[in-house]
Amino acid sequence: MALILQVISSGIYIVGSLSIVAFLYDNLKSLFSIIKAVLEPYFRPNLPKTLVEKFGQWAVVTGATDGIGKEYARELARQGLNLVLISRTKEKLIAVTNEIESQYNVKIKWIVVDFAKGREVYDQIEEELNGIDVGILVNNVGMIHDPETLDKVSEDTLWDLLTVNMGSVTMLTRKILPQMIGRRKGAIVNLGSSSELQPLPNLTAYAASKKFITHFSKGLEYEVADHNIHVQLVMPNFVATNMNAYSDKVRQGGLLFPNAYSYARSAVFTLGKTSETNGFWVHGIQYALMKLAPMQIRTYFGNQLFKRLRIEALEHRQKKQNLY
């Protein structure tokens, strides 16, 4: 009997230990990935040193004229990649192109498309990319609305959000993937969000669209692994960009809210070194702490947070209206 109890006790200990290790890894893997990115070159010195060596000479960045997308483009140019910038505003594309070209000796091509128009834009993109071997695709373009209950968000806004946030990452990847498979080289970076971690009342459709990006990226990672193609899911928390214009506190930045430049420098550093990251060490800690709580608790606090941000957004809109 004593032997049976000892075996049961040992089994419980082993299962418990493995469960704790798995739980901690699952919750802290973004931090582990950043540490891995720092240390890997010391242990594997024969790995390709640059992104150009790893993936190729050209990078495509969508949503490239503001915020994270613009700074991703700048950082990739700093590392020697030629760029194809895709956005909907010609004037902004020209301005960003001139700005980056004045800093770095790279080639830049820009393409004007509005991803909210859906299927029709992808043939144009494919035609304009003809002859360019895309080494890195950064699916950054996305949209958000001010925090609001679903019944008060316009149907046009919802259609645009779903078309841009989910359609762009799926269809542009589908257009570019065959050439990467043919060369057996490339990287696909999908900008998701930490909001995928739980439902977010008052940003219900947005958070759901980011969960789509998580599942899409993880599934694609396994599909293309045999073709030597790297898929990276990037899940930022709040970054001080125009997407968060509804919150003065977020726009002001700070330790918890890095600016787009700092965030992109950190995130690009992990490219080719890890398949999943929050991109910035503070966001990795935030994500880990949130994930420790059960889904119901995370959803409750998310609801409370975005109720307050909804009020802040309403006040922000009222101030703008008063100015005019």
Query: Which positions are annotated as active-site residues?
Result: 206
Cβ contact 29:283 at 8 Å: no
Task: Please enumerate in sequence order all residues whose Cβ is within 8 A of that of 252, keeping only pairs 6 or more positions apart, or say none.
Answer: 240
Cβ contact 135:56 at 8 Å: yes
- CA–CA dist 105, 275 (Å, integer): 29
Cβ contact 186:178 at 8 Å: no
Location of structure tokens 């240390």: 39
Cβ contact 175:216 at 8 Å: no
Report the 10 Å Cβ neighbour count for 61.
29
Angle of helix 260-269 versus helix 67-78 axis, rounded to 10: 50
- Structural tokens at position 202: 């008052």
Cβ contact 63:141 at 8 Å: yes
Task: Please enumerate in sequence order all residues whose Cβ is within 8 A of that of 116, keeping only pairs 6 or more positions apart, or say none.
Answer: 88, 143, 159, 160, 163, 164
Location of structure tokens 């990672």: 221
